[in-house]
Structure 1
Amino acid sequence: MVGGNIGNFFAVTFILPLAAFLGGNNAQRGWSLAVLLYAIVAVVLLLVAFADMREKNIQRTKSIPIKQSFKAAKRNWPWFLIVAANIIFWIGLTARSSTLAYYFQYNMHNSGYISLFNGFSIIQVVGMASIPFIVKKFNKWGTTVFGLAAAIIGQLMMVVSGSHLIPLLISWCIACIGSGIACSMFFAMVGDTVDYGEWKNGVRASGFLTAIGSSFCIKMGAGLGSFIPSVIMKTFHYVPNHVQSASALSAIKFSFIWMPIVIFALNIIPLYMYKKYEEHEPIVIRDLMNKNSQEEM
């Protein structure tokens, strides 16, 4: 998670000056070339990372058909709760990140803040690094709620901060630290639902449950998180590269400030419902250990 955020830091911090450099007076050409360059770098790095990678201890891994993988999700209520919560979270997070540029360009009237605040988002690694200490006190579901609460507080502080740069940056950092904590915790909790699925249904579908609980949720939530603000802004007459009406400015502010607050608050509901399943984990782990030890005998 920390490594991913470092990569994201460089991507979002330098995309604007890179697009301006490559495109000159043609902004569309600059963005196309910048994204193409990013894509080429990504492909090269992925090939380097995985070209000679080989799995070890594969004899311990049992492949199961996709039909049987679905059985691991049957009555796996903690998995359904985490999937729902993760999708909701990524809707709020993406809504915030996708409207940041609009907010600072039109509402704050300072496009220079876009790269600055995107760059400061790297501070969420502080939240990620602090998770081992926080989780000892609040457990996993409580740590996630703690992160969401911090993100909500940071968003609210941005409202109070107005156009003052330092208070805005402090508020943004608090919001990013909170969302960084929550983002990381979903990956930890979806792993626990794999154990629950094996305990409940006798099927360990690690790949299937983890893929849906992480990658699918990110794609689904990010897609909706980009789509919903665009619909809101269009409905209230946002016009690109023009002076915006009062209704358009309100729509941008709602999408960047208030929509994430509402969504992060709603996200607490499935997490609170997940609490009882986390409290049940010791029993699940004990029973699985006993089962595995009997199979080895």
Structure 2
Amino acid sequence: MARRAAGQLIKRVLMVPPEHFTVEYSINPWMGGTVDKAKAHQQWNDLKKAIEKEGVQVSTLSQTKGLPDQVFVCNSGLVLGDRVYLSRFRHKERTGEQAHYLQWFKENGFKPIGEDYGEYFEGGGDAVFSDYKTLWAGYGARSSKGVYDSVKSLGDFEVVICDLIDPKFYHLDTCFAPVDETTALWYPPAFSENTKKEILRRLPHSIAVSQEEATAFVCNAITIRNTVISPIGVSTATRAALKARGFGVTEVDMSEFMKSGGACQCLILRL
């Protein structure tokens, strides 16, 4: 029986509205600028509506004042069924988020794993299922390579280690987005030679985006059924390649969140 892509099975996500979203520090190469708070709220709501339009339920967690990056809830952990492997942030500026995520998971019936483990792990920013037997596992600037030996305790799946080599693409979800069982959007220069070979071997219909698209965060996209929800900037060529695979594109303006180095995928946690 063919494995079904994770994007076909998505039913519910968690989002954190940008009640206290600002850029107050710099912990990645993209961070800088002043956030237009009204515009950020509009963009977040537009993304939420685009997700709900595809039949996905959106749960929300209120943002805590003093934790401006908590809107990027994908970094809270990695969920499989009713279990969650908890994040451990590399930068002290984000460690305050961890207790709030843990409380939400416990209150909503998830069984947390990894609370007492020591290695850095930034959740869905670096770890994503293409199908639920295959986990793509980024490491480099934020998550430790060795943490995936523990992440395997979440369930029965294969881990494909992805070596991130460009500081601009500090999380896997900035340069790689699974689309279907044999396809991903990806930016090849962000990966080591061995990782490039592995992506093309396992996902042979993958679509390489241009540098212009990569810096517009096009790979920070969410696939839901037959729709790819992406930041603005998808090229005609990429759109045509996705159409050939049976996918349409919905673009959402993410300019305010890109000031902090995030976009569509960063703003959701798959539950």
Interval of TM-score (by shorter of Structure 1 and Structure 2):
under 0.3
**Looking at both structures, which has the greater relative contact order when contacts are Cα pairs under 8 Å and sequence separation is at least 6?**
1
* Higher helix fraction (1 or 2): 1
Structure exhibiting the larger radius of gyration computed from Cα positions: 1
